Structure 1
Amino acid sequence: MKNIKLRIVYLILCSALLLFALFMLAVNLIIPAHFVREAKKALISEAQYQNRTIPYTDDEFFFDDGWNDTEGHFLTPSIVFLELDNANQSSGWNRDAYRLEKKLLEYCKGRELSLNQCYTFKTDRHHLIFMSVQEEQDDWEKPYAYIMYIDIGPITRYIVTLNWAFFAVLLAISSVMCLLGFRFGRDIEKEAERQQTFFQNASHELKTPLMAIQGYAEGIQAGVMDTGGAAEVILAESDRMTELVDELLDISKIDMGRQRLTLSEMDVRELLYDSIRAVEPAAAASGITIAPDFPEEPVMVSCDDTQLRRAVTNILSNGVRYARSQLCLTCRANKHHVTIRIQDDGDGIAEEDIPHIFDRFYMGRSGKSGIGLALTKEIIHLHKGTIRAYNGDSGAVFEISIPVSR
């Protein structure tokens, strides 16, 4: 999963280049070739009409390539007639046109041009499709010769403008997509790295109780360890491993979006009292007192009582571990949110640990790691609430905010 961001950028650039190449092919080859064909059709149609080889009627007529027309070709109004006998005055009113026609005549001079056949003549700004035509006059007059041409140069110049415009738009879009792709790839790499770290840490956490269980079991087998004491350690480590596995399964369900909340209306004070009773034995063993401070009136919330109780219990257990003598648990409500605040009187959280306190298996100053607080954060987020940790006047403070029932 390395260099994903670069791969995405390369893929975007290659796609942009391919798209630009296809556009260049269509605009610079296919479209000009199409207009050349249409110009030739217009000239042939006009020559046939001038020579009276076709009647000027509304009846449909067909060419060999299947093209047909009923009212003339759409390029017919663009046809210019250049009289060979009076070429110097044919376009005297327009100096640019006069120069162009002079160049065309010089190009034709000395070349044997077949009548009624289309030819191509190009300059820097012009692209002419022309035809030499000769009309038969009365018997006593010589044939009337002239050149018909259509200048598709404006179209080709417009195509060049389209090339630059498309290139600018494609460059802008590709730059934005490369930036987004780079950020997206970087997020994928970070997530892959986080998952790898998660599995490494999970393996390490599971290995610790397994090694303890294996060691004491081998001691019992060898007869060098007291059976009662060893069994007590084995049971404690088994409970620890079971709890860790349950947390891993729960957080995996949350990541996969498979954790569903069973919401019900309940008084959050009852939930908090249940959490206090869950940690009272550990608190009493450590000489820690838990001081609840709740409103007298009910505080109703819509929640999954099992999951929310688990989240609060995790924080209380964490507080019991670090408190010196007391753990304060308060609950306050307003029109929009219920705020649960848990504060211990310990040493507080190291400043460098506060931004990572809810990271999975983050090892802080105490040297302990786990996913209890990470699971707590995910449960609170499932309830559309927030949780934060900071240092108060004395000890660490964890503050939970969840919406009240409407």
Structure 2
Amino acid sequence: MAKRTWSTIISCAIIIGAGAGGVFWIHQHSEKQLQGGPRLAVVAAQEVETTTAKTASDSNVKKTRKQIIEDSQKKVVTIESGIGLGSGFLYNDKGDVITNAHVVEGSKEVTVRTLNHEEYQGTVIGIGEETDVAVVRVPGLQKLTPLTIAKSKAETGDEVLALGSPLGLENTVTTGIISGVGRSFEIPPYIYSNLYQISAPITHGNSGGPLIHAETGEVLGINSAVVEQEGGIGFSIPITSVLKQVQAWSEKPNTTTVVQTNGGGNKAASGTSAEAEGLVTSFYLSLNESDYVTAYALLGSEWQSGTSYAKFREGYLNTSYVTISGISSSSNGHDEMEVTATITADERRDGEYVTSKYKVTYQLGYENGQLKILHGQGKKIK
């Protein structure tokens, strides 16, 4: 267009100075310019097409494994509830985090911690009774872009990344493959159906974290269980099997807390009494699983300040298993609960295992909105 404009200006100058002869020359010159027009249009179109193709190509550049990990970690969180630590991940633009039901069991409010160690309060808006999945709404995370959810199921051999906070070690990533599909079993009160079996190592604290496709960055599942035999075998709930339920909770939040009982049934929370007894029970369950990090996290700040984690762990290394019975609780009228129970412990002494019975008493109270074991004492009984 610029070339024809300058040609016209030059032609006008010739008209002014050359008279009729100039008009004849201009007429022929203009025809040649017009005949060249279509060729210029084709070139321009080709340039546009090339630019468009390049733009499309740039937008589809495949991310590296490192980029996928870095992007995913920003949307994975650590969840601290009344019974310990777990993981979760952001799945929509409402600040909703998907996790396991057993991670937030018995809690209405939980603390959520991001990659940058920013802490937010979250509310449990949906929790499964038989399906081990839950949703926590965290208003402070609405500003973040969620992870992309896979629309199809994974297949055996797909490379995966497991993200979460195993043993409280936040922002941990392990790699592996889908080593099996269609695995089903029951861990009361939850029923696990058609799970992914994964080779990526997971352990306590990984629960609720995402299983990510290593090539696309999409969420394939929710890491939920591990069988700790011969190195451990991990299992993940396919996201496609629970997505409709999760979305239903997000659309119509349910803030009624459900507490799972050891018998496999469910009962509505009846106040802090059930929470207090559940917390002490979870404390000993964590010790039975050698998950000393979670057990230590249940202690109050004063107890932790007087006992280091190393000393705490050392004190339980010779205890192989604890059975709890006769648990009861009462309020002392100062926003604290007293929990008493009888425990039977299998302990190793002088190279032999002996069984001992204790009467234990714990004082529980809230710190920063979280129920903690503040003090405790035990007395050996016959």
Q: What's the TM-score once normalised by structure 1's chain length?
A: 0.23
Bigger radius of gyration, 1 or 2?
1
Structure ranking higher in strand proportion: 2
Structure ranking higher in helix proportion: 1
Q: What's the TM-score once normalised by structure 2's chain length?
A: 0.24
